[in-house]
Structure 1
């Protein structure tokens, strides 16, 4: 007789007295020698006979095969694939009464070819409707944010053009900065007015940060454009012409005006 280990139990192989069949033995804790258990056979025995049931769900009927010793909770798990309803969203009625998950089919009197009714839990239906409405709100909010993003993209192009003009030293009217700032602020107000959740909230936050960044950049460009550059080649230099006299020395005061006297009267001469 050969010895072999299986898990924590010792399994022994031997033969029946007539030598016709081989019998597997296992040594249980405490030294008791028993015939090895067949897990599959035990499972089949526990399942018992199968029941073929007809479960009506609305206008649709589902044929379900289930062990007689199964519970209504087990039946709900089998119905998930057929109906798409999770077990917690199902209510099973038999003979006009709702059955709890822990109740057993056989104990409740469910026989082969019995008919049961499946309905969706009203609370579950309301949750699904609320989820559907919420998803629709999110979709609408995402669409609005996408439209605002397209407008901000256009304003970004104007900002890039102003930045290029400032960098090259071109004269940019102050009104151009003010107008673009106002247009950006309008988009910011639109974003703030959106009630958003989920993905729409994330997109809105991203666009708010983007617009705020553009407004700050625009303020910096405006300051640079309006501040004179002392090293610019366009600076006007004022010079003063100085009057030079014969001495070669410049003077801040004009020379005195000289006049010549020409007699215009005939005078009488006496001896």
Structure 2
């Protein structure tokens, strides 16, 4: 199948590069795989570095092509330091997290020093607190929105009853107004930035609008109540006048009746100037 010269090349005679070729089943000649070479290259790419943190030493096995940031992540568990709080020193120079170990000539057995980056820790803590505050504000605004929605439904019910001429209880209006005022006070104690500030402003506007509606309903309810009181007073006055006129009519009738009655006859009394004398 192959020429004599080609066969000699494959069998290792007459060719110095025969170790790089191999014969596959089917007669295909390909480059020879060397598992030993791959294993050696893999072992060379993995290094062990010694990291000093305080009085402790940590031996980390890592790829030589890894970045200092990846090394920091591996140091998080044994040291308890957050990645952003770490500062790696190699050859008396702080190394950036994005730079690579092999570029910085970190080799197997190299020694590094790990320090606490206090400035970075302070920034991280402040940012964490800021995020927590935003989340709390967002949650509070969401709860207030739900409460305002419930109160808005009650205000709409009263407004509909008033437009249809129904009776409105002033106590219901006062209770709703007090609840809305308490919500407004809660909103005054909330501070937000950006989108949260806009959400807070929207809820304040809604609450104020509902309070104004309740004020108008209260004025209308008081007007109706005052009108009813005036009407009742008039009716009471009319009834009182009729009663007085009735009493006056009865008194006149009684006087006429007395005039028409005949005088009573009493026994006659005889007056005399004769005095009876006694011995």
Larger radius of gyration: 2
More helix by share: 2
TM-score scaled to structure 2, two decimals? 0.47
- More strand by percentage: 1
